[in-house]
A and B are shown apart, each in its own frame.
Chain A
Amino acid sequence: MNEPLLEVDRLRVEFPRGGRFHPAVTEVSFTLTAGRALGLVGESGCGKSTLAAALMQSLPLAARVASGGVRWCGRDMATWSPSELRRWRGREVAWIEQEPSAALDPLFAVGDQIAEGLIVHAGLSRSAAHARAVELLAKVGLSEPQLRARARPHQLSLGMRQRVGVAMAVALAPALLIADEPTSALDSTLQGQVLDLIDDLRQESGMAVLLISHDLAMVAQRCDEVAVMYAGRLIERGPAAPLLEAPRHPYSKALLAARPRGIRLARGERLAAIGGAPVSLGDVPPGCPFHPRCAVAESACGRVEPPLVEMGDGFALACPVVASKSQAGRPS
C-alpha cells in the first residue's frame, strides 16, 4: 500500500452555543490513499459537512479545532501558511458541493471559467488553457465541446451544468476530490450520470475521492470503503461491499433497512423505522449517542461511550453489544 494522502487524526471540531463549546465532530480518524474512494454517510446535522470544511481548512470563524489534526502527505496542515493553503486548495484538492453547477458564474462562458483556473494555477497560456478546457468538456461527456465552451451557464441544461461543474472541479487534476452531497439536488436519472462521471475520472487519473452523502446504499456502491457518522462520531467503518451486504452497527443496519428496495409492502406490513429524531448539536445523549433510538441497547450503553474498535477484518465498530455477540458467535 502506498503512502496515505490524507490522514485525519482524532479530529475534534467545536462550535460555540450558549456560552459553551459543543463538539460537532468528535474524535474522527481515517486515512485516504490515492485512487481510493471513501464514502462518508450520515444524516443532516451529524457533522459530515463540518468535517469536510475542516478538511478543506475552511471552517467558519466561530468553529475551533479543539484537538487532533489533518495531515496531507504526512505534513500537519495546521502549520501551513495561508498562501500554502491557497495553493493547495487550488491545485491539490477539489470540492464539489450540493450543486456542482453552483460554482459557475452566470456572466461568463463556461469554457473561460474552466480556463481561468488553468491559467492561474497551472500557468498555462490562454490558448492552451482554452484547448484544455474544451478537452475537459469533451471528457465529461458534452457533445460539441467547442460550441459548449462558448455558452454561458444559463444556455446549458441542468445536467450539462452539473457536468461543467465537475469538469471545473477536476480541471487541475486534483489529488483529492471532496464531493459533499454531489447529487442530492438531482433526479435519480441524472444522479447516476454524475456519479459515473466521478468514477471514470477517478479510475483515469488516480485521484482520491471522499464522497459525502446521506444515502448509505448509494455511497456503498460507489466507494471502496464506507464510514458511517452519527452525532459527530464515526460509528462504523468498513469495506463497502460487505458493509452494504451486512452492516454491523445497529444504526447502519436501521438506516439501510429503513429504505425499501424494489419490494411492495403487503397490507399491514411496515418499513423498519428508527424511532426518535437525529440528535442535534448541543444535546447529545450521554454514553453511546445512538442508544435512545437503538433496538439492541443495553443499560451500559447509556453510561459509557463506546470507542471505535478495529475488528480485524477491515471493519471498525463502535458498538460493544454487537461486537461481543459476533465474538461469541465466532468459533475461536
Chain B
Amino acid sequence: MSARQLMRGAWPVRALVWVAALTPWLCSALPLLQLADGRLSSPATGAATGQALFWLAVVAGDALLHARGRASRVAVVGALACLGALIAADDAALPLPTSARFTLAAPVPHDPDRSDWELLARPEVSLPAPPSMRHWLGTDSAGRDLLARLLHGMRSSLEIGAAAAAIAVLIGLLVGVACGTLRGPVDFLLMRVVEVVLCFPYLFLVLVVFTFLPRGRATLIGLLGLVGWTAIARLVRGEFLRLSEEEFVLSSRALGASRWRIAWRHLLPNALAPVWPATTFAVASALLAEFALSWLGYGIPEPAASLGTLLADGQRQLARGSAWLALVPSLAMVAIVLAFHAWGERLREAVAPEAAALAAAERAR
C-alpha cells in the first residue's frame, strides 16, 4: 500500500494537523513581525517551544508527501526549516518594546493562558464575556480568549490522542505479532492478559493511577496507551492466524522459511493493511477518552488547555447561561473525531478484501 493511497481521504485530518502546527503563529499575544530599534524580529516565533519543532516536522513530512515536483518540495520544506531554525535559534521571549515602529499582529492576538486585563478593567464587563469583535468566541470565566484556548487545546488534545494511539498500536503490534508467530503457551497467556485488560474496570484503573501518579500529560498518555492496545493486538493476531493458512505462506514454509522470516516478510506486510484504519480509530477513541477524563477532572492541569479541560471549564458555567463555553469545545471534538473516522472509513475501503477483489475482477475483465 503506497503512502499516497493511505493519505486518500485524510484531508480533514491534514487540515487539523496544519492548523495545530501553525497555532503558535495563528494565535499569539506577541506580534508575528515587528520593526523596532531598527531591527526586524518575530517575537511570536521566538516564543514558540520545542513542541512547535515537532509539529513542523510532521507538516514537513505531509508536504513532502503531497507536493508535486521537486521545486515545490524544496520550497515548502525550506520554508518550514527556516521557521524551525528561527525557533531553535531565537532567545526566550523578548520584552515587548514599546517603541515598535511597525508590528504585524497574529490573527488571534491573545495568549491562551493569560487573562485579558484590558477587558477586565472595563467596569461593564461581566465574566465570562460573550463573543465580541475583540474576542470572537468570547472569554472564559477567567477572562482568557476562548478561541486562543480552543486552538491550543485542540493542539494538545491531538498530541495526547496521537501519542496514546502510537503507544497503543506499538504494544498491540508487538503482542499481536508475538501471539501470531509463537502460538502455543505464549499466545494463550498474552490473550488472557488482553482479556484482563479489557475486563478491568476502567474508572477504577483511572482512580488508582491518579492516586499514585501526578496529573499531567505524560500520565494521561501512558494511561490511554496502556488500555487502548487490546483491539489492535487481537486484530493483528487474527490477521496472522488467517494469513498463516494462505497458500503463499504455505509456499514459503515449503521452501524452508523460518517462522520469523515468514512473520516479517509475508505476514506483517499483509497484516498491516487493516491496522491502518484501526490506528485512526484508535486516535479518535483516545481523543474521546481524554475528553471524558478531563471532564472528570483528571485532564492536564491548568493553565494549559485541552478540549477536555475546556469542556470541564465550560460545564461549570452552564448554569450561568454561558452555553457556548461548553458547546464550542464539544463541537470541535465532534469535528475532530469525525475527521479521523472519515479517514478511517476511507482506509478501510482501500484495504478491504472485497474492494481488492472487486478491483481484481475489474482488471480481469
A35 interface residue per 8 A CB criterion: no
> Per-position contact with A for B338-365: 1 when CB-CB < 8 Å, else 0?
0000000000000000000000000011
Chain A residues numbered 263-298 whose CB sits less than 8 Å from any CB in chain B: 280-281
Taking CB as reference atom, which chain B residue is nearest A44?
Answer: B364
A323 to B365, CA, bound (A): 32
- Please name all residues of chain B whose beta carbon is closer than 8 Å to the beta carbon of A15 when the two chains form the complex: 365
Chain A residues numbered 1-50 whose CB sits less than 8 Å from any CB in chain B: 15, 17, 45
What class of interface size applies to chain A in its complex with B?
Answer: under 10
Taking CB as reference atom, which chain A residue is nearest B365?
Answer: A281
- Please name all residues of chain A whose beta carbon is closer than 8 Å to the beta carbon of B365 when the two chains form the complex: 15, 17, 45, 280-281
A305 to B365, CA, bound (A): 22
A15 to B364, CA, bound (A): 13
- Please name all residues of chain B whose beta carbon is closer than 8 Å to the beta carbon of A281 when the two chains form the complex: 365
A15 to B365, CA, bound (A): 10
A17 to B364, CA, bound (A): 12
A281 to B365, CA, bound (A): 6
Chain A's nearest CB lies how many Å from the CB of B281? 33
Taking CB as reference atom, which chain B residue is nearest A15?
Answer: B365
Taking CB as reference atom, which chain A residue is nearest B362?
Answer: A17
- Please name all residues of chain A whose beta carbon is closer than 8 Å to the beta carbon of B364 when the two chains form the complex: 45, 280
A277 to B227, CA, bound (A): 54
Chain B's nearest CB lies how many Å from the CB of A231? 13
Chain B residues numbered 307-365 whose CB sits less than 8 Å from any CB in chain A: 364-365
A45 to B363, CA, bound (A): 11
Taking CB as reference atom, which chain B residue is nearest A282?
Answer: B365
A45 to B364, CA, bound (A): 8
Chain A's nearest CB lies how many Å from the CB of B41? 56
A17 to B365, CA, bound (A): 10
A281 to B363, CA, bound (A): 10
A96 to B365, CA, bound (A): 22
A280 to B361, CA, bound (A): 12
- Please name all residues of chain B whose beta carbon is closer than 8 Å to the beta carbon of A280 when the two chains form the complex: 364-365
Taking CB as reference atom, which chain A residue is nearest B363?
Answer: A280
Chain A's nearest CB lies how many Å from the CB of B290? 46
Chain A's nearest CB lies how many Å from the CB of B108? 47
Chain A's nearest CB lies how many Å from the CB of B331? 40
Chain B's nearest CB lies how many Å from the CB of A259? 23
A45 to B361, CA, bound (A): 11
A sample of 7 inter-chain contacts (CB < 8 A) reads A15-B365, A17-B365, A45-B364, A45-B365, A280-B364, A280-B365, A281-B365
Q: Which residues of A contact B (CB under 8 A)?
A: 15, 17, 45, 280-281
Q: Which residues of B contact A (CB under 8 A)?
A: 364-365
- Counting from the closest, the 7 A-B pairs by CB-CB distance are A281-B365, A45-B365, A45-B364, A280-B365, A15-B365, A280-B364, A17-B365
